[in-house]
Amino acid sequence: MDLNQIYTQLIMEHNKNTHNKRALINPTLIEHGHNPSCGDDITLNLIEKDGIIVDASFTGSGCAISQASTSIMIDLIKGKKVSEAMELAEIFIKMIKKEIDDDSELEKLEDAVAFENISNMPARVKCAVLPWHTLEEALKK
Amino acid sequence: MSQIIDSKIREDFPILEKKVNGSRLVYLDNAATTQKPKCVVDAISDYYYNHNGNPHRGAHTLSIEATSLYDNAKKKVQNFINADSEDEIVFTKNCTESLNLLAYSLSQSFKEDDEILLCISEHHSNILPWQRISKEKNLILKYIYVNEDGTIPESEYEKINKNTKLISIAQMSNVLGTIFPVKKISQIAHEKGAIVVIDAAQSIPHMKVDVKDIDADFLVFSAHKMLGPMGIGVLYGKKHLLDNMPPFLLGGDMIEYVYENDVTFAQVPYKFEAGTQNVEGAVGLKAAIDYLEKIGLQNIEAHEKMLTEYAVEEMLKIPYIEIYGPMDLEKRGGIISFNVKDIHPHDVSTILDSYGVASRAGHHCCQPLMRYMGINSSVRISFYLYNNIEDIDIFIDSIKNVRKWLGYGS
């Protein structure tokens, strides 16, 4: 296991930088996500208008992987259509399961590709996918 | 620094030679499960290669041998905890099953508004079974709260009153490492007429536990935390109490006569052992107790105390580490829970693992305690007889690198 592949510069920056970790006024969707075994606990706040995610933020606490993954996801989905966000969630989860061969699919994930190597660390997979599962739950409603 | 137990015993544990991420394995997750000496694994394979049969059921040689091995293991456990008779020893799957059995069977005679008292630091396995029966039978579930240093303040013992039907408490906390004064607790409880259940999962692997000395009505523990195999646990109960309890699981081998609409049950302990039992587990547990007795429980306790003192001393030198539990080390066993400033425990544990150090991160199955302490989770290291000073030194060197990996100065 190479920690450099896990705690990359990008992930460290998002873990420390809290620009997406804030309260949101009048969110239209609020979803709570939790990894009971390790204590990652996030609340995802979304403002959806006419099928577009116009703003998003999160609150909560957790490990560097879960916090960075949430922050990177928020940067990615802001301004996107709900259908696009759902597609990105599907691609991300497939990437973690190593079910994607097509690099053009991965490119859609932009910075979130940084978590590709997490699939080599089974104990940490659930930290990386937590925000994406939470997003899926929120958008299903 | 001199050690009480010679590191030569590490040779008895083949897994300790394993390299983890290219480094020497530093196994500090003993409160979760312990490694097995070769003699335990050998005893289990010897059982399957030479003696395997269904115990208590057949007249053939192998069944008789399996029965004898199973019963000898009970005798061993009886002597190990100083019980009056092997009939007071029930084999279960683990500590969790023992506690579920007790909650179910004891509560059949409990009445509305009877009180059950637990400590806030209990493992979920010593909370949830009592929580469920409390809801079903309208019992009152109360908690003893610990001080900031993880010990029980005197005033909390006033919660033991004449309505207290039962108190169930761990002898050693799996998070705080606190060794609770169970002898005193059982004395107070018995004065008020309450039943005393002691969860010895974390204590009995590391110190001499005598059920008569502490006057436990029931004592529960798991083999895998004391060098034995997974899947076998012990329920000790005073004979007259076990006699009056209904069985928990029903099935083969726990009956006398079965009719279409009625049944009479076997005697204690067999009425609590339904179905084919875990003979390999019993054999492995006996081998584990033999090994522990050969090393000596007093030596193990003293060895771990030395390691704990050394580890705490070194950890206190690191300003960004916060240690939980008693700082009076006389009140603590070989468990240290802590946090590293700014770093989530799961990241700490991952980074430690990259140096070959096995630790545990999370809430340790103690969410009510974590909430009470105002933390989400912690990192935990826990020692056993095969750990040595070198293990602690590697741990300390590794922990000093954790913050750097996440971009913090030091």
A8 part of contact set with chain B, CB < 8 Å: no
Distances (CA, A) of B12 to B8, B15, B18, B49, B385: 8, 9, 13, 21, 11
Domains and CATH numbers, chain B: 7-30+297-405 (3.90.1150.10), 40-293 (3.40.640.10)
pLDDT band at A2 (very low <50, low <70, confident <90, very high): confident
From A12, A36, A39, residue closest to B407, measured CB to CB: A12
Residues B92-119: tens digit of each pLDDT: 999 999 999 999 999 999 999 999 999 9
Please state the domain count of chain A: 1
From B21, B346, B353, residue closest to A63, measured CB to CB: B346
Taking residues B274-292, what's their average pLDDT?
Answer: 97
Taking residues B341-355, what's their average pLDDT?
Answer: 95
Taking residues B243-254, what's their average pLDDT?
Answer: 95
By a Cβ cutoff of 8 Å, what residues of chain B touch chain A?
21, 343-347, 350-351, 353-354, 361-363, 370, 376-377, 405-407
Please give the sequence-ordered ranges of beta strands (E in DSSP) within B63-179, or none if there are none.
89-92, 115-119, 140-144, 164-170
User: Is it the case that residue B217 has pLDDT exceeding 90?
Assistant: yes
Backbone angles phi, psi at B163, to 5 degrees: -85, -10
For B228, the token pair is: 């034995």
Strand partners, B117: B142, B167
What's at A60, amino acid-wise?
Answer: G
Taking residues B82-94, what's their average pLDDT?
Answer: 98
Helix (H, G, I), strand (E, B) or coil at B93: coil
Spatial separation of the C-alpha atoms in residues A13 and B90, rounded to whole Å: 55
- Residue B253's contacts (CB-CB under 8 Å, 6 or more residues apart) are B56, B57, B266, B270, B273, B274, B275, B276, B277
Backbone angles phi, psi at A15, to 5 degrees: -65, -40
- Residue B37's contacts (CB-CB under 8 Å, 6 or more residues apart) are B12, B13, B227, B288, B291
Q: Residue A123: its pLDDT value, please?
A: 86
User: Is it the case that residue B207 has pLDDT exceeding 70?
Assistant: yes
CB atoms within 10 A of CB A107: 10
Per-chain mean pLDDT for chain A: 92
Q: Which residues of A touch B346 (CB under 8 A)?
A: 38-40, 62-63, 65, 124, 127
From B343, B346, B406, residue closest to A38, measured CB to CB: B346
How many residues in total does chain B contain?
Answer: 410
For A111, the token pair is: 């910075």
Q: Which residues of B touch A127 (CB under 8 A)?
A: 346
CB atoms within 10 A of CB A13: 14
What is residue B375's DSSP assignment?
-
A125 part of contact set with chain B, CB < 8 Å: no
Q: Which residues of B touch A37 (CB under 8 A)?
A: 362
pLDDT band at A71 (very low <50, low <70, confident <90, very high): very high
Q: Residue B410: its pLDDT value, please?
A: 66
Q: Residue A63: its pLDDT value, please?
A: 93
Q: Residue B216: its pLDDT value, please?
A: 98
Residues A30-66: tens digit of each pLDDT: 999 998 877 789 999 999 999 999 999 999 999 999 9
Contact A6 B350 (CB under 8 A): yes
From B350, B353, B376, residue closest to A39, measured CB to CB: B376
Q: Residue A5: its pLDDT value, please?
A: 85
C-alpha neighbours within 13 Å on the C-beta side of residue B85: 9
Q: How far apart are the first and last CA of chain A?
A: 39
Q: Which helix (H) or strand (E) holds B27?
A: strand B26-27
Output the domain CATH number for residue A115: 3.90.1010.10
pLDDT band at A1 (very low <50, low <70, confident <90, very high): low
Q: Which residue does chain B place closest to A65, by CA atoms?
A: B347
**Sign of the dihedral defined by the CA atoms of residues B149, B155, B161, B163, in that order:** negative
pLDDT band at B302 (very low <50, low <70, confident <90, very high): very high
Distances (CA, A) of B11 to B100, B103, B383, B387: 37, 41, 17, 12
**Sign of the dihedral defined by the CA atoms of residues B8, B9, B13, B19, in that order:** negative
Spatial separation of the C-alpha atoms in residues A11 and A6, rounded to whole Å: 8
Is B198 in contact with B171 (CB distance < 8 Å)? yes
Q: Identify which of A5-9, A100-104, B86-90 has the greatest average pLDDT.
A: B86-90
**Smallest Cα distance from B6 to chain A, Å:** 32
Angle, helices B297-316/B389-405, rounded to nearest 10 degrees: 30
A25 part of contact set with chain B, CB < 8 Å: no
pLDDT band at A70 (very low <50, low <70, confident <90, very high): very high
pLDDT band at B1 (very low <50, low <70, confident <90, very high): low
Spatial separation of the C-alpha atoms in residues B261 and B251, rounded to whole Å: 14
From A7, A37, A124, residue closest to B406, measured CB to CB: A7
- Strands B321-323 and B335-340 come out as antiparallel
Spatial separation of the C-alpha atoms in residues B116 and B142, rounded to whole Å: 6
The pTM of this model reads: 0.93
DSSP per residue over B254-300, as a string? SEEEE-SS-EEEPPTTGGG--SS--HHHHHHHHHHHHHHHHH-HHHH
**Smallest Cα distance from B349 to chain A, Å:** 10
Per-chain mean pLDDT for chain B: 96
The size of the A-B interface in CB pairs under 8 A is 57
Taking residues B330-353, what's their average pLDDT?
Answer: 96
Helix (H, G, I), strand (E, B) or coil at A46: strand
Contact B376 A61 (CB under 8 A): yes
**Smallest Cα distance from A1 to chain B, Å:** 6
Look up B366 and say whether it is catalytic.
Answer: no
What is residue B332's DSSP assignment?
B
**Sign of the dihedral defined by the CA atoms of residues B303, B305, B308, B314, in that order:** negative
- The residue range of the domain holding A97 is 3-140
**Sign of the dihedral defined by the CA atoms of residues B146, B155, B140, B249, in that order:** positive
A105 part of contact set with chain B, CB < 8 Å: no
**Smallest Cα distance from B399 to chain A, Å:** 14
